[in-house]
A and B are shown apart, each in its own frame.
Chain A
Amino acid sequence: MSALFEVRGLNKNFGGLTVTNNVSLSMTTGDRVALIGPNGAGKTTFVNLVTGHLKPTSGDIRLAGQDITGANATSRVRMGLVRSFQVTRLFYDMTPEEHVALAVLQREKRSGRVMGHYAGMPEVMDEVREILELLGLVELSHLKVREIAYGQQRLLEIALAMALRPKVLLLDEPAAGVPQSETARIEHALDKLPSDLAVLMIEHDMDLVFRFAKRVIVLAAGTIIFDGSPKAVTQDARVREAYLGSYANASSAA
């Protein structure tokens, strides 16, 4: 089976500094992959390269067999490569319902319409309600986003990604900033993602990583040092060194 999403020999240099060093990975339909790594490993750079916010120095990115290395960020989204944000990016004066409606309309190429209101478009409203129900946001659907809790905003962030019906979804720390007591709700929401969607999650919360991912990729100093099962990752000597080694250095320096 050919890969749905493929990165080959990706490099990124900032001047003389190599931030991404020959990164290759591939994902197929239904994959649940976690990308982890110590701070400064180059995870954010990797996300920016994949989403089209940075241009790679060399290497290529393919989505469903198509080379998208030269495509800009918005056309990558339209082709089905969608991301969520580490720090919530929402419209604070709009309601969750409006957010999801806007995403659905955009996907359906109807967001350019200058007439009508989404409430008068039954197929849009049905889908909006379905998504809000799935994520347990129905009660909040008419509140302004600034009035809802941060954990709920994180759920809305996932709802927006779902509404765009991506082929590949990059989740940038979906549980960041959410209190421990509420990570269960985020996890619950992640379980509801369509099963044929390929998900690449960047996360620091190891409990979440081990429960969610079927496969773990470890990035350290811009290079992939591990790609395998969650079980094997804890046993891997290089991974331990990358994490614990940096801790050991930090404590001796202090």
Chain B
Amino acid sequence: MAVSMNDSVTAGLPVRRKFDTGSLIGLVAIIVIGVAGYFLFPNNLALLTRIIAIMLLVLSIDLVTGYCGVATLGHAALFGAGAYGAGIAAVHFGITEPLTMTVVGAIAGALAGLISGIVILRAHGLPQLVLSIAVIHLFHEAANKASAWTGGSDGLAGIAPDALLGMFQFDLWGRTAYIYGLVLLIVVFLGLRVLVRSPFGMLARGAREDPIRISAMGASVKSVLLRMYVISGVVAGIGGALTAISTQVVGLDSLSFTLSAESLVMLVLGGTGSLYGAMIGTVVFMWFEDLVSAANPFHWLTMVGALLIAVVLFAPKGLYGSGAVILGRFKGGRK
């Protein structure tokens, strides 16, 4: 009986399912926290914008690592490509319209995703991880050498985006940049919610759990993973473009191994395989980093390390993942 009732619900509301309750809760949470951040930390909007940009990078890693099971320590390549793409468009080609810059960043990220996907997906496991490290170093070195375009180790300066929609100047306090970042995050979040529930999202989950079964269904696992890499490149590229627009400078650190590794740590901290885990991990890591580095500039890295050890030991599925398990148990116990 219960089953047939469920069925009639799903059959009766085929279109409404696109906006499932999960997406709605997430949307409301992002808006509430985002607006609260705007009013609570008016002097820290640059940091908050940076958190959103990195969040896009971590979401992008989650797509390939959490949903598809590809281990990577080179994902900043996609983020940096987006940042340099948007920056070079502005500095060398005079494309200073922020929306266009974002689109350029997304395309550059997708291209970087395609290239690094082709390289990284040739191997599995540990060799795959090593290839991803090689990729980020190559990207880094390429950007360093092409200093005529990228400014090399001095960074690419002089990015001057136009007013957003011709109305909102990117101000000194970073209000416009923050709100633009928040809007980008919401758009990406809703897009990814649709993606992970789509047939392709199911295929990707299947490819992580049992690639042999997926190929026995007649689907090519490699092409699934490569397509996901390109999509994740779009997301990371948008994050990179947001950095270029908001800070108006792009440095080699956006293409660094350190950033790749840190963002993977943020994902693990929050919990892989869920969009919420990626977002929570980023906020907690960066907020904690900011807090302890201000409180104790000498030993803050020790504190960050201690936090990570604590999470890995006591919440191995990450903050969100373990939280969801505990909540599930609580609900189950009350039945």
Contact = CB atoms under 8 A, between A and B. Distances in A.
B205 A113 contact: no
Contact size range, A: 35 or more
B202 interface: yes
Given A74-B219, A77-B216, A120 B198 contact: no
A23 B237 CA distance: 54
B209 A93 contact: yes
A25 interface: no
B195 interface: yes
Contacts of B10: 119, 125
Interface stretch (B13-21, B51-59, B245-253, B312-320): B13-21
Nearest to A120: B14
**Is chain B's binding surface mostly helix, strand, loop or mixed?**
helix
A105 B218 contact: no
Nearest to B213: A89
Interface string A117-144: 1111110010001000000001101100
26 contacts: A74-B215, A77-B215, A77-B217, A82-B216, A89-B210, A91-B213, A94-B209, A101-B199, A102-B217, A105-B199, A107-B218, A112-B200, A112-B203, A113-B198, A113-B200, A114-B194, A114-B200, A116-B18, A116-B194, A121-B14, A125-B10, A125-B11, A138-B3, A142-B3, A142-B6, A164-B217
A51 to B, nearest CB: 8
A225 interface: no
A160 B213 CA distance: 10
A73 B220 CA distance: 9
Contact of A91 (B11, B210, B219): B210
A179 to B, nearest CB: 24
Contacts of A85: 213, 216
B18 A120 contact: yes
Most central of B6, B200, B231 by chain A CB within 10 Å: B200
Contacts of A142: 3, 6
Contact of A106 (B15, B197, B201, B219): B219
Given A106-B203, A164-B217, A115 B3 contact: no
Given A77-B218, A91-B206, A117 B197 contact: yes
A125 B14 CA distance: 11
A92 B202 contact: no
Interface string B227-269: 1000100000000000000000000000000000000000000
A122 B14 contact: yes
B3 A139 contact: yes
A115 B198 contact: yes
Contact of B17 (A74, A75, A111, A117): A117
A192 interface: no
B202 A98 contact: yes
B7 A129 contact: yes
Nearest to B9: A119
Nearest to A113: B199
A73 B205 contact: no
A51 B215 CA distance: 11
Given A73-B215, A90-B213, A110 B11 contact: no
A185 B59 CA distance: 45
Contact of A112 (B3, B15, B215, B227): B227
Interface in B182-218: 194-195, 197-203, 205-206, 209-210, 212-213, 215-218
B198 A116 contact: yes
A159 interface: no
B205 to A, nearest CB: 7
A160 B217 contact: yes
Interface in B9-47: 10-11, 14-15, 17-18
Contacts of A73: 215-216
Given A85-B216, A112-B199, A160-B217, 11 more contacts: A73-B216, A78-B218, A90-B213, A91-B213, A103-B217, A105-B199, A110-B199, A111-B219, A114-B194, A121-B14, A142-B6
Contacts of A83: 216
